Structure formats: structure tokens, C-alpha cells
Amino acid sequence: MPYIVLFNSKPMTKELDQKRLKLTIFGATGGTGKLLVDQALEAGYHVVAYARNPSKLAKTHERLTVIQGELRDHEGIERAMSGADAVISVLGPRRDSKGKPITEGIQNIIAAMKKEGVRRLIISSTASAEDPSDEPDLRFKILVEIVRLLIRPSYEEIIGTANAVRKSGLDWTIVRLSLLNNGPRSGKVRVGHKGRGEVGLRIARADIADFMLKQVNDPKYLRQAPLISN
């Protein structure tokens, strides 16, 4: 993890004109991030993409601004945040990362949001991040255990990032996922929690991007961590 409390910390009580909204996206050069940028521009948003390597985005558009920077670059993050109405992060841990760059990066993003007066934060996470509404589910337990045992640094980043967002005091939504694929956008997304028979294990990246964008104007999952699948 939204919303929503956007403009000047005032609660969002009606649908906002997305053609006048500015989104700051982190993780824009990844598989889901590129789709997110494309769909946001298609929907009429003004987009600021913050990227370590902008050349990976390979896209130009009159409503797209790309800012190069690292997650430890406080000034760069603040610059990307300036004037934003919402922030969406699809940052994910890398197996070869040292330390906790994503957790620290999210903490820097949160600090910049507070400094710039931006309230709405939507992030992607995984089933490894538990939620009080979850119930026991063997399928998800096995997946989480595989991650915890085989790629422990990634597991710790997932937990650390989710905890930082929950404690941020912002208007957040944590969108949790399991197994990703590159299928086309179907618009058919199941939403729920573990152990209730509400969601499956797989989801298309295009549907993830679509769901996250919809949260910008929808307070239904404000300060919640829904698990989604196709």
C-alpha cells in the first residue's frame, strides 16, 4: 500500500479529474512499471517517472517527465515529488542487493511526501507481507516459506517496506501479489485476503497496473492491504 486524502491533506470526497492529476511513479523501468506508465498516460495523467536508469524506459510523451536518481538521493526524490497528487511504487527487491535499499528507499519516499505535502501512497508488495485480515492458507504459506528460506534478503525487504508504509501516517494502500505473468490486461481482478477462497495465486502485470491506477480515485482500500489475482 490509498485513499484518499490528496490535496493539501484534505480528505477526498469525490472523484477527481485525473487529467489534472500528477502521479509520481517509482520502479517505472521494470516490467510492471512500464505498463503502469503507459496506462497512466493513456488515462490522461501527468506522470513523473523516477528512475536510476531512464534509458530503460525508452519512452517520450508530452505528459511524461523522467527524473534520474537513486533511492538514496533525497533531493532527487523531493524534486520528483514536487506538485504530485499521488505516489505509486512498484519497486521490488533484487537478489543481488546489499543491505535494504528498497526499505530505505521507501522511507526516503515517505519523508519526501511529508515534506512536499503529498498524502496518497500506493505500493505493490507480495503475500509475504501479512495482514490482520488474513487467515491460514497452505498455498500462500508454501510460497512465503520458499521466499523466506531461499531469498531471505528479499523477504526482509518485503516485510520492512510494508511495515514502513503502515507506520507512515500517510493515506496508503498496499497491493499484495503472488505469481506474476505477462498476460494481457483482462480487467478481471479478484480482491481479498488469504484463507478465504477469494483470490488465486497468479495475476498479469497489466492487471496489476490497472488495479493500482484505479486506487488513485477510489478510497475503498484506504489503509488496507488487499491481495489480488486474476
CATH number assigned to the domain comprising residue 217? 3.40.50.720
In a domain, 1, yes or no: no
Alpha carbon 132 to its chain's center: 20
106 closest CA partner among 174, 206, 208: 174
Share of the chain above pLDDT 90, in %: 87
What mean pLDDT do residues 150-157 have?
Answer: 94
Range of the domain at 205: 7-229
What mean pLDDT do residues 82-106 have?
Answer: 90
193 grid coordinates: 485476503
pTM over 0.85: yes
158 grid coordinates: 518485503
In a domain, 36, yes or no: yes
**pLDDT at res. 17:** 56
- The tally of domains found in the chain comes to 1
In a domain, 2, yes or no: no
Average pLDDT score, the chain: 91
**pLDDT at res. 91:** 96
In a domain, 196, yes or no: yes
Q: At which residue does the C-alpha cell 526499505 appear?
A: 103
Comparing 3 with 100, which gets the higher pLDDT? 100
What mean pLDDT do residues 145-158 have?
Answer: 94
Sign of CA dihedral 124, 127, 128, 130: positive
Q: What is the pLDDT of residues 3-56, one digit of tens each?
A: 333 333 334 434 455 557 999 999 999 999 999 999 999 999 999 999 999 999
Q: What is the pLDDT of residues 181-198, one digit of tens each?
A: 999 999 999 999 999 999
**pLDDT at res. 19:** 56
114 grid coordinates: 511529508
3-state class of 212 per DSSP? helix
Q: What is the pLDDT of residues 158-168, one digit of tens each?
A: 999 999 999 99
Position 205 pLDDT exceeds 80:
yes
**pLDDT at res. 10:** 37
**pLDDT at res. 2:** 32
CA distance 1 to 221: 9
